[in-house]
Chains A and B, each alone.
Chain A
Amino acid sequence: MSLTNDRIKERLVEKFGEQVSAFSEPYGMLTFEAPKELNLKVLNFLYDDEELKFRFLTDLQAVHYPDDKGRELAVVYHLHNLVDNVRIRFKVFTDIKTPDVYTATGLFSGANWMERETYDFFGVNFVGHPNLKRILNVDEMDYFPMRKEYPLEDQTRIDKDDEMFGRG
């Protein structure tokens, strides 16, 4: 393999220094994070760099860590270098009170739907997204269902007996 995880890390640290951090390799996949203000710079660098060439956005989603104060929401980008067949995972963390993250739609057109979905379920406000509205849930929904502060079941129901559902 021509492009190793160590080499990617070296290139990133060369460019961004201390600002890229928390490098790890769960199941062999290079994972790292950066401040949310830098997300486009990092993505652009990974895209444009002649050696790295991460030009395919496999997936984009969020994770909610309710106990991690000040950085409750993680936005995760999965990137793929199709030439060398290498994948990496890139995270930015944001405060849940101001969940503003710059949109990646300018770089990857495919991010359009993925960011709408992430907004739909986690309420991440992608600044600069051309059409940031709900995509999978009903339009009238007034909360973000995948955030952990919301209980899974509908709490307003009275016709389902809790005993029968193992939560009595």
Chain B
Amino acid sequence: MGRPVAYNVNEKKLENDISIANMPEGHQGEGFFATSLNKVVGLARKNSIWPLPFATSCCGIEFMATMGSHYDLARFGSERVGFSPRQCDLLMVMGTIAKKMGPVVKQVYLQMAEPRWVIAVGACACSGGIFDTYSVLQGIDQVVPVDVYVPGCPPRPEAIIDGVMRIQDLIGKESLRRRNGDRYKALLEGYAIQ
């Protein structure tokens, strides 16, 4: 007897040898294409995310599988994992963050340039997980704002990829003025970030 799920039952037919991102809505004619700047920038940003892995425990191991050839996060434009926060767009916090590590996470977040996004991978980063105790930060959203939460203990690589795709959705639809908005400033002030 085989494994219950040995292959993808909803197989997607290969449309082209190389799939490329869809063109945004706009007007086109011979030799020109007109669309809004929002969409072009969003398209460029979402397909070239540089993730910064902040891996502290087992979720980090799942992330390594996600970057490996079998799951291959590079298919989503995140080929280049950066290890300097100043180069990166997406902070991926994977694993238990002890209270003593909290200021480090915040420091890393502060060193990233705007626009920046944060994804909390796994139960510990989302809520402290099973470590409901004196030494563990009960969710990284206590020190930095989080865009996407990926549940699981640890989440499978598919879940991490799903989280990254949701980040891509957010990035693609984000207004260029969002980071200057009052609401965003109030959010950062809520975390005492200037």
Given contacts A159-B127, A160-B127, contact A165 B135 (CB under 8 A): no
Least distance between B27 CB and chain A CB atoms (Å)? 48
Least distance between A48 CB and chain B CB atoms (Å)? 39
With a CB–CB cut-off of 8 A, which chain B residues contact A141?
134
CB under 8 Å from chain A, chain B span 109-165: 127, 132-135, 138
- Report whether B132 and A145 are in contact in the complex, using a CB–CB cutoff of 8 Å: no
Interface flag for B80 (CB, 8 Å): no
Which A residues are within 8 Å of any B CB, using their own CB? 136-138, 141, 145, 150, 152-154, 157, 159-160, 165
The SS class assigned to the A binding surface is loop
- Report whether B99 and A152 are in contact in the complex, using a CB–CB cutoff of 8 Å: no
With a CB–CB cut-off of 8 A, which chain B residues contact A160?
127, 132
Interface flag for B100 (CB, 8 Å): yes
With a CB–CB cut-off of 8 A, which chain A residues contact B133?
152-154
Q: Can you list 20 contacts pairing A with B, beta carbon distance less than 8 Å? A: A137-B99, A137-B134, A137-B135, A138-B100, A141-B134, A145-B134, A152-B132, A152-B133, A152-B134, A153-B132, A153-B133, A154-B132, A154-B133, A154-B134, A154-B138, A157-B132, A157-B138, A160-B127, A160-B132, A165-B132
The 5 closest A-B pairs by CB, nearest first: A145-B134, A153-B132, A138-B99, A138-B100, A152-B133
A31 to B127, CA, bound (A): 43
The number of inter-chain residue pairs (CB within 8 angstroms) is 26
With a CB–CB cut-off of 8 A, which chain A residues contact B135?
137, 145
A154 to B132, CA, bound (A): 7
A138 to B100, CA, bound (A): 5
Instruction: Please name the residue on chain A nearest to B98 by beta carbon.
Output: A138
With a CB–CB cut-off of 8 A, which chain A residues contact B99?
137-138
- Report whether B138 and A137 are in contact in the complex, using a CB–CB cutoff of 8 Å: no
With a CB–CB cut-off of 8 A, which chain B residues contact A137?
99-100, 134-135
With a CB–CB cut-off of 8 A, which chain A residues contact B134?
137, 141, 145, 150, 152, 154
With a CB–CB cut-off of 8 A, which chain A residues contact B100?
136-138
With a CB–CB cut-off of 8 A, which chain A residues contact B138?
154, 157
